[in-house]
Amino acid sequence: ERAKYHGYGLIGKTLGTIGMGNIGHEMFLLAKPFGMKHIAYDPYMTQEAVVDVNVKLVDMDTVLAESDFLNISCPLNEGTRHLISEKELGKMKETTFLINTARGPIVDEAALIKALQQGWIRGAGLDVSEQEPILPDNPLLQMDNVIITPHALGWTDEMFMTMWNENLSQISQIIRGE
């Protein structure tokens, strides 16, 4: 049945992000070879800070309306809780994929489920949910247009070595009275 599950090309598509910190920046570095247009919304970022990854900073409405793949990379706080709700999902193209690897409550999950069921957007890639762990009866787990993975990108050998080196450095600073 592979004909039912074909992929979508990236060349010439628009990769957008909400949040252009370290993770957003790294995402654009990794995406560079794919020939995509890069846009981002981040009210705290300057255009000069993103020139190395060829990102154009835009307003929220533009990143919602123009992204073919919209990544969420902002922190969760009172200003970003349910930042993506029905209103924002309604501004996206029917062909957009929403990717949330930040924190679950940034996206209003009930609104996302509705948008996916009614075809407002094409699909979602999630490694976070509003309630974690995700409940077994969550409709997102049954949808063909959703990919859900564990929130575990950082669980690599490099991450563990970096953490241990950082811990050892801090222990050394304590011993030296710093």
Residues sharing a CB contact under 8 Å with residue 57, sequence separation 6 or more, in sequence order? 20, 39, 40, 41, 42, 45, 46, 47, 50
User: 132 an active-site residue?
Assistant: yes
Strand partners, 99: 71, 125
What pLDDT sits at residue 30?
A: 94
> What is the residue-averaged pLDDT of the chain?
94
Query: Which one is catalytic: 25, 38, 66, 103?
Result: 103
| Mean pLDDT along residues 141-154 | 87
Greatest Cα-to-Cα distance within the chain, rounded to the nearest angstrom: 64
Note the pLDDT tens digit of each residue in 90-113.
999 999 999 999 999 999 999 999
Round to whole Å and give the CA distance between 118 and 145. Answer: 11
User: 25 an active-site residue?
Assistant: no
- The torsion angles phi and psi of 150, rounded to 5 degrees, stand at -70, 150
| Mean pLDDT along residues 129-141 | 94
Round to whole Å and give the CA distance between 25 and 48. Answer: 13
Provide the pLDDT confidence category of residue 153 given band limits of 50, 70 and 90: low
Query: Which one is catalytic: 132, 158, 166, 178?
Result: 132
CB-based contact 120:99 (threshold 8 Å)? no
CB-based contact 128:100 (threshold 8 Å)? yes
Residues sharing a CB contact under 8 Å with residue 58, sequence separation 6 or more, in sequence order? 16, 39, 40, 41, 66
By CB neighbour count within 10 A (0-12 exposed, 13-18 middle, 19+ buried), where does 65 fall?
Answer: middle
Query: Which one is catalytic: 81, 82, 122, 151?
Result: 151
Provide the pLDDT confidence category of residue 29 given band limits of 50, 70 and 90: very high
Tokens of 75: 């922190």
User: 103 an active-site residue?
Assistant: yes
Q: What is each CA distance from 170 to 154, 156, 175, in whole angstroms?
A: 21, 21, 9
- Whether 152 shows a pLDDT value over 80: the answer reads no
- pTM, two decimal places: 0.85
Tokens of 140: 């997102």
Tokens of 104: 């679950």
By CB neighbour count within 10 A (0-12 exposed, 13-18 middle, 19+ buried), where does 125 fall?
Answer: middle
